[in-house]
A = this chain, B = another copy of it.
Amino acid sequence: MLPPLRIGLAGLGTVGAAVLRLLERQAEVLTRRTGRKILVVAVSARDAAKQRGVDLSRFKWFDDPADLAKYGEIDLFVELIGGADGVALACVEAALGAGKSCVTANKALLAKHGMRLARLAEEKAVALSFEASVAGGIPIVKTLREGLAGNSIERVYGILNGTCNYILSRMETEGLSFEQCLSEAQKLGYAEADPTFDIGGFDTAHKLAILTSLAFGTVIDASAIAIEGIESISLADLEAASELGYRVKLLGVARRTPDGIEQRVHPTMVPKSSAIAQVMGVTNAVTIDADAVHELTLVGPGAGGEATASAIVADIADIARGVRSPPFGLPVATLSEAENAPMQLHRGGYYVRLSVFDRPGAAAAIATRFAERDISLESIVQRRRPGAGDETPGAVPVILITYATHEKIIREALDAVVDDGFLAAKPQFIRIERE
């Protein structure tokens, strides 16, 4: 039998405590799986006295996680501190530098410093694993890095933020406003007091940056991601989407296009019949389009202590078994600098909702602005909608669904419609993503 794998764990919040419990509960079977004992020997957290439902007396305590990272009696450092820089970065760098493998759930850290840390791990021939950093308990990192090793990937997209999906699901099923659902999510602990990071799409973007690199073998470039949050989505949009056979989801999408790799995070209309449209509440889902496997979808919990711990323990077990491969599947030195496809060149269908002053010729004028630019319309719906509530007096909603066109063209058409002076409010548009 191999010598035990000795772990130092920094960060004892919900996830850290769940990792300790899971390693203990599964100790026997993990030893059989990996051929060795997996032992947590030392921990670090901000407050030693806090009650966590776990007996910490067995572990050596470090006040400073940086000391734990370099501690000579550990083989593996588990970073659950959080934050893109500062302590987390210093600890992971120190641990890798000292020749210790690292497991982290820190998507912000990876989105910003992933390449540098992966290069360090490769130099030291240790593992840097981060299954828990994307989509919680869903083994999407392993699937992209190993399970689809023989595929050339065309697109990866998914629901990567449970808070947003919870809010959009509740709005649709209960007919509540965005503000009502956000406040509800905050009460339930699904959203932070300052929810910007989630609802603004930034959390999704961090995760997407990691998926893009894994899927396309490219250097992480989070700055290339076009990001829009869900703040602008109204009940009127969800109702109109539903009538037209669509549902609105906040998606992260990375796609290989003739113009380069497109990375974007935005509210997206998906056909109700699609697998991704069925995913409600805090659940996450990722779909991969690839040349050999065609389409693969994984659906599961995107957050929560136990689900995240499941991913962390799987990483630990792989490291215990001696599995070593480049953290991003390919050696960092061979990752390509992706050509970034600009959003203006994005091609797809669009949903457009206009609040139009109820004057003769308005709808015709609008249709003309689209026709001039060769934008074909799949549908156009104009009517007085009793009770919609958010229309300016004297204005009626006009909903259009376009066939595939370019972002640049649709924006020009909307600018022209605005200039015509028929609109009572800023036009709303939502991109459509098809299977």
The reply to whether the CB of A30 lies closer than 8 angstroms to some CB of chain B is: yes
Instruction: Among B151, B278, B290, point to the contact of A278 (Cβ < 8 A).
Output: B278
Determine if A309 and B292 form an interchain contact, defined as CB atoms under 8 angstroms apart: yes
Contact status B148-A314, CB under 8 Å: yes
- Shortest Cβ gap from A171 to chain B (Å): 18
Residues from chain B with a CB closer than 8 A to the CB of A307 are 292-294
A33 located at the interface, meaning its Cβ lies under 8 Å from any Cβ of chain B in the complex: yes
Which of A67-75, A92-100, A321-329, A398-406 lies at the interface?
Answer: A321-329
Contact B325 A321 (CB under 8 A): yes
Q: Which of A138-162 contact B (CB under 8 A)?
A: 138-139, 142-143, 146-152
Name which residue of chain B comes closest to A28, CB basis. B334
Are A294 and B33 in touch, CB under 8 angstroms?
no
Among residues of B, the one whose C-beta sits closest to the C-beta of A147 is B139
Residues of the B chain whose Cβ atoms lie less than 8 Å from the Cβ of A13: none
Interface of A, helix, strand, loop or mixed by DSSP? mixed
Q: Which B residue sits closest to A325, measured CB to CB? A: B321
Among A106-114, A183-191, A295-303, A379-387, the one that faces the other chain is A295-303
| Inter-chain contacts of A294 with B (CB < 8 A) | 137, 300-301, 304, 306-307
Asked whether B292 lies within 8 Å of A275 as measured between CB atoms, the reply is: no
Is A32 among interface residues, defined by CB-CB distance under 8 A? yes
Q: How far is it, in angstroms, between the C-alpha of A301 and the C-alpha of B151 when the chains are bound?
A: 14
CB distance from A332 to the nearest CB of B (A): 11
Q: Please encode chain A, from 268 to 279, with 1 for each CB lying within 8 Å of some chain B CB and 0 for all others.
A: 000000010010
Copies, count: 2
Which listed residue, B22, B151, B152, B334, touches A150 by the CB 8 Å rule? B22
Known: A32-B334, A142-B142, A330-B33. A150 touches B26 (CB 8 A): yes
Are A310 and B151 in contact, CB atoms less than 8 angstroms apart? yes
Provide the residues of chain B in CB contact with A148, threshold 8 Å: 139, 310, 314
Q: How far is the CB of A100 from chain B (nearest CB, A)?
A: 20
Check A293–B275 contact: CB distance below 8 A: no
From residue A19, how far is it (CB to closest CB) to chain B in Å?
A: 9
A323: chain B residues within 8 A (beta carbon): 321, 323
Confirm or deny: A63 has a beta carbon within 8 angstroms of a beta carbon on chain B: no
Chain B residues in 8 Å Cβ range of A139: 142-143, 146-148, 296
CB distance from A428 to the nearest CB of B (A): 29
CA gap between A297 and B293 in the complex, in Å: 17
- Cα A275 to Cα B146 in complex, Å, equals 25
Q: Tell me the complex Cα distance, A325–B146, Å.
A: 15
Query: Could you say which residues of chain B place their CB within 8 Å of the CB of A321?
Result: 323, 325
A265 beta carbon closer than 8 Å to chain B: no
- Complex CA gap A25/B292 in Å reads 11
A48 in contact (CB, < 8 A): no
Is there contact, CB below 8 Å, between B292 and A152? no
Chain B minimum-CB-distance residue to A313: B150
Whole-angstrom distance from the CB of A24 to the nearest CB of chain B? 11
Q: Are A33 and B149 in contact (CB under 8 A)?
A: yes
Interface presence of A365 (CB below 8 A): no
For A9, the chain B residues whose CB sits under 8 A away are none
A312 to B139, CA, bound (A): 19
Query: Contact: B291 with A146, CB < 8 Å?
Result: no
* A152 cross-chain contacts in B, Cβ below 8 A: 25-26, 29
Closest residue of chain B to A300 (Cβ to Cβ) is: B296
Name the residue on B nearest A320 (C-beta).
Answer: B149
A33 touches B325 (CB 8 A): yes
What residues make up the interface of A, taking CB atoms closer than 8 Å to B? 18, 22-23, 25-26, 29-30, 32-34, 131, 137-139, 142-143, 146-152, 217, 275, 278, 290-301, 304, 306-307, 309-310, 312-314, 316-318, 321, 323, 325-326, 329-331, 334
CB<8 Å pairs between A and B, sample of 8: A26-B152, A142-B143, A147-B314, A149-B313, A150-B312, A299-B299, A321-B323, A323-B323
